[in-house]
């Protein structure tokens, strides 16, 4: 089978029930009891004021009454990090029930390759053309050899769940990820390196690519909540 090498991640919002009004209706039960679903009479200023208050005071639960489902295709090493976020629901393709496709991540020329400094205090720099070449060659050679061995075992009748053991963590896998707005903010606070963050994080670039696409989609669905998150230092409530 022909091998595919690529550098991006795919993130597609497949369904959602998520709006700024979901935050308001959940919060209003505190003071008005039930039947507060209708918020049409609220001015944008009032909505924005309440959401900003909830964000600032870290009243987190009103942000849980929303839901977004994404289809994500990313390398397995990204999934290892992503799955640490327990406040999300996952269904991933199975290497036991299907033959894994020969699709592999390889860093592109924009990926910073060289780490300067020690753990906890370092920066990344681009790297020389030689370092990029050796990286590209090594990824391609290792993946090609691994996939040949995988196919060899499958052809000999070895079970998929055994044969997959030779495939590298740079192999792409896909999953549905479902989360609410509060879980989204927790994810974004940790997986984006934003200079305006009160608690800067330094995620691996490839999971940050996923986070960037999540944030774009979420900001369109809940623009007022997103603005309040940014204005309050990107701290998850
Ligand atoms: C830059 C970076 C480097 C990292 N390096 C490492 C590393 O070297 N090794 C490593 O193992 N991990 C590492 N991690 C993973 C990290 O420790 C977290 O597991 C991951 O970011 C998920 O965060 P979370 O627990 O807040 O998310 P979620 O699991 O989604 O949880 C969301 C929130 O729910 C609450 N919560 C969830 N479960 C519990 C629980 N059982 N008890 C109490 N509260 C709970 C917490 O408030 C939590 O913040 C790293 C993460 C980042 C961003």
Ligand 1, CB within 6 Å, residue ranges: 84-87, 183, 186, 190-191, 201-203
- pTM of structure: 0.94
Find the range with the poorest average confidence among 28-37, 47-56, 145-154, 218-227: 28-37
The one catalytic residue in 191, 192, 205, 234 is 191
DSSP 8-class letter at 14: E
User: Would you say residue 83 lies in a domain?
Assistant: yes
User: Would you say residue 237 lies in a domain?
Assistant: no
User: Would you say residue 115 lies in a domain?
Assistant: yes
User: Would you say residue 236 lies in a domain?
Assistant: no
User: Would you say residue 121 lies in a domain?
Assistant: yes
Provide the domain limits for residue 86. 4-231
Beta strands across the sheet bearing 89-92: 10-17, 67-75, 172-179, 89-92
The CATH number given to whatever domain includes residue 38 is 3.30.1360.170
Question: Tokens 């960037």 belong to which residue?
Answer: 212
- Rounded to the nearest angstrom, the distance between the alpha carbon of 85 and the centre of ligand 1 is 6
Which token pair is 94?
């199975």
Kind of pairing, strands 4-6 and 103-105? Answer: parallel
pLDDT tens-digit series, residues 168-222: 999 999 999 999 999 999 999 999 999 889 999 999 999 999 999 999 999 999 9
User: Would you say residue 28 lies in a domain?
Assistant: yes
Exposed, middle or buried by CB within 10 Å (0-12, 13-18, 19+), for 75?
Answer: buried
Residue 132's CB is within 10 A of a number of other CB atoms, namely 17
- Rounded to the nearest angstrom, the distance between the alpha carbon of 187 and the centre of ligand 1 is 9
Residue 191 annotated in active site: yes
d(CA 172, CA 78): 9
Nearest Cα residue to 175 out of 98, 93, 83:
93
For the chain, the residue count is 237
Domain count, the chain: 1
User: Would you say residue 97 lies in a domain?
Assistant: yes
């Amino acid at each position: 089978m022909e091998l595919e090498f690529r550098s991006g991640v795919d993130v597609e919002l497949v369904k959602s029930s998520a709006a700024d009004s979901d935050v308001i209706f959940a919060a209003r039960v505190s003071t008005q009891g039930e039947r507060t679903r209708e918020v049409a009479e609220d001015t944008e200023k009032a909505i924005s004021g309440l959401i900003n208050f909830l964000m600032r005071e870290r009243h987190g639960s009103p942000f849980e009454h929303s839901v977004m489902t994404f289809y994500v295709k990313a390398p397995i090493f990204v999934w290892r990090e992503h799955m640490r976020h327990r406040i999300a629901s996952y269904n991933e393709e199975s290497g036991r029930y299907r033959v894994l496709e020969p699709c592999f991540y390889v860093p592109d020329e924009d990926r910073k390759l060289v780490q300067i400094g020690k753990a906890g205090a370092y920066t990344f720099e681009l790297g020389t053309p030689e370092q990029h070449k050796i990286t590209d060659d090594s990824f391609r050679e290792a993946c090609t050899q691994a996939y040949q061995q995988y196919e060899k075992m499958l052809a000999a009748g070895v079970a998929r769940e055994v044969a997959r053991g030779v495939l590298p963590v740079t192999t792409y896998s896909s999953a549905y990820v479902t989360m609410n707005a509060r879980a989204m903010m927790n994810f974004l606070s940790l997986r984006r390196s934003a200079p305006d963050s009160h608690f800067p994080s330094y995620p691996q670039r490839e999971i940050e690519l996923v986070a960037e696409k999540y944030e774009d989609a979420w900001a369109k669905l809940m623009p007022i909540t997103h603005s309040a998150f940014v204005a309050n230092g990107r701290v998850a409530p």
